């Protein structure tokens, strides 16, 4: 049971403005239900349901790309409500996909609900039990070059099952290290270069027994999924700050490395909106 200390103002309940009726309601324990409200996810009859989650400033920046300040905390203002929602989405997922850049920005992290929001660890555990999930979501790292340290916690701690998706060249690089037993390596047929999102999902689909896949980025990886029209839903936490940009600086938007508009734009439909103490939590269907 969550203590009163954990039920601090940073975990004030979200106010529902628009609520989706699509999908099956998850069996949230009472405190998560109080904080978030009803949470539904579609269950596809075949294939995977792929959703993404990011926090963004009003001017569209998702990463400041400044050493020590490249994560989402600086964007959200270190919002407890944002971490609560991130934890909920990870708890619902059967796999969480991130790129090697995201791993490099937070190398000690595990992509679990407890790691992002330890204050609500008991509630996430109860949700997993209610959903009959035998283990934490598979942590999937996409690294075309295979230049990742296999001694990092996501690979070596044994707390999560991990998969690295790479190329032929990346596989050769990875084999220079000892591969922990809890780590799967899937090499695509590509010698090097960008790995198609469809190939990533095929590998994930074979590895997991579930249907829900969460893509947490970064922006270049997400762009690949949008380019191939493989994102079903986008969760977007909108923070009321202006980051600003210098001409040609490295600050990143939600999608980087691909362009869609004006010839081939990606239009979403707002399906859910919840108001937090400072942030607005939006959900779009694509």
| Chain segment 92-125, per-residue pLDDT in tens | 999 999 999 999 999 999 999 999 999 999 999 9
Q: How many CA atoms lie within 13 A of 64 on its CB side?
A: 17
Dihedral (C-alpha) 58, 55, 144, 117: value to the nearest 10 degrees?
Answer: 160
pLDDT band at 271 (very low <50, low <70, confident <90, very high): very high
Q: Tokens for 9?
A: 């103002």
Dist. CA 236–CA 254, nearest whole Å: 9
**Higher-confidence position of 160 and 192:** 160
User: Residue 246 pLDDT > 50, yes or no?
Assistant: yes
Q: Is residue 229 scored above 70 in pLDDT?
A: yes
Task: Please give the DSSP secondary-structure letter assigned to residue 120.
Answer: G
pLDDT of residue 2: 42
Q: Are strands 183-187 and 162-166 parallel, antiparallel or unpaired?
A: parallel
Q: Before 267, cis peptide (omega within 30)?
A: no
Average pLDDT, the chain: 93
Q: Two tokens at 135? A: 């283990």
Residue from 12, 60, 33, 44 nearest 239 by CA: 60
Q: Indicate the DSSP class of residue 63.
A: B
Report d(CA 89, CA 196) in Å as an integer. Answer: 24
Q: Residue 118 has which token pair? A: 């330890």
Coil/strand/helix, residue 215: strand
Burial of residue 283 (CB within 10 Å: 0-12, 13-18, 19+) is buried
For the cut 50, the answer to whether the pLDDT of residue 73 exceeds it is yes
The pLDDT tens digits of the residues spanning 166-221 come to 999 999 999 999 999 889 999 998 888 999 999 999 999 999 988 999 999 899 99
Local confidence band at 10 (pLDDT 50, 70, 90 cut-offs): low
**pLDDT at position 155:** 97
Rg over alpha carbons for the chain, rounded to the nearest Å, is: 18
Residue 41 pLDDT greater than 90, yes or no: yes
Residue 278 confidence (pLDDT) = 96
Confidence of residue 65 (pLDDT cuts 50, 70, 90): confident
**Cα 147 to Cα 143, 153, 278, distances in angstroms:** 7, 15, 38
Instruction: For residue 1, name the pLDDT band (cuts at 50, 70, 90).
Output: very low
pLDDT over 90, % of the chain: 85
Instruction: Give the model's pLDDT for residue 5.
Output: 43
Mean pLDDT to the nearest integer, 10-30:
94
Q: 141 φ, ψ to 5°?
A: -110, 125
pTM above 0.75, yes or no: yes
| Residue 6 in this model has a pLDDT that exceeds 60 | no
pLDDT score, position 166: 98
pLDDT at 8: 43
Task: Please state, in angstroms and as integers, the Cα–Cα distance from residue 166 to each residue in 151, 154, 160, 184, following that order.
Answer: 17, 16, 19, 11
> Which domains does the chain show, CATH number per domain?
46-57+73-241+273-286 (3.40.430.10)
Give the pLDDT band (50/70/90) at residue 126.
Answer: very high
Whether the CB-CB separation of 222 and 254 falls below 8 Å is answered with: yes
Give bridge partners of residue 284 from the DSSP assignment.
234, 270
Statement: residue 37 has pLDDT above 50: yes
Structure tokens at 207: 């590895």
């Amino acid at each position: 049971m969550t203590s009163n200390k954990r039920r601090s103002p940073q975990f004030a309940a979200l106010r529902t403005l628009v609520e989706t009726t699509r999908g099956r309601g998850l069996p949230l324990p009472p405190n998560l239900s109080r904080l978030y409200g009803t949470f539904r996810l579609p269950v596809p009859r075949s294939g995977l349901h792929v959703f993404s989650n990011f926090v963004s400033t009003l001017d569209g920046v998702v990463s400041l790309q400044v050493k020590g300040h490249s994560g989402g905390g600086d964007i959200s203002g270190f919002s407890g409500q944002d971490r609560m929602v991130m934890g909920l989405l990870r708890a619902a997922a059967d796999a969480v996909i991130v790129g090697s850049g995201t791993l490099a920005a937070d190398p000690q992290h595990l992509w679990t609900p407890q790691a992002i929001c330890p204050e609500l660890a008991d509630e996430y555990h109860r949700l997993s039990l209610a959903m009959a999930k035998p283990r934490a979501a598979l942590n999937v790292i996409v690294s075309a070059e295979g230049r990742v340290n296999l001694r990092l916690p996501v690979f070596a701690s044994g707390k999560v099952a991990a998969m690295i998706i790479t190329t032929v060249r990346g596989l050769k690089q990875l084999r220079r290290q000892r591969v922990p037993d809890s780590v799967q390596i899937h090499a695509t047929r590509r010698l090097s270069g960008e790995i198609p999102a469809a190939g990533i999902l095929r590998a994930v689909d074979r590895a997991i027994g579930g249907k829900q896949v969460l893509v947490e980025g970064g922006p270049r990886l997400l762009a690949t999924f949008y380019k191939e029209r493989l994102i079903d839903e986008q969760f977007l936490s909108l923070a009321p700050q202006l980051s600003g940009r210098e001409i040609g600086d490295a600050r990143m938007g939600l999608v980087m490395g691909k362009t869609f508009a004006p010839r081939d734009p990606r239009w979403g439909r707002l399906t859910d909106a919840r108001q937090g103490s400072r942030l607005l939590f939006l959900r779009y269907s694509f």
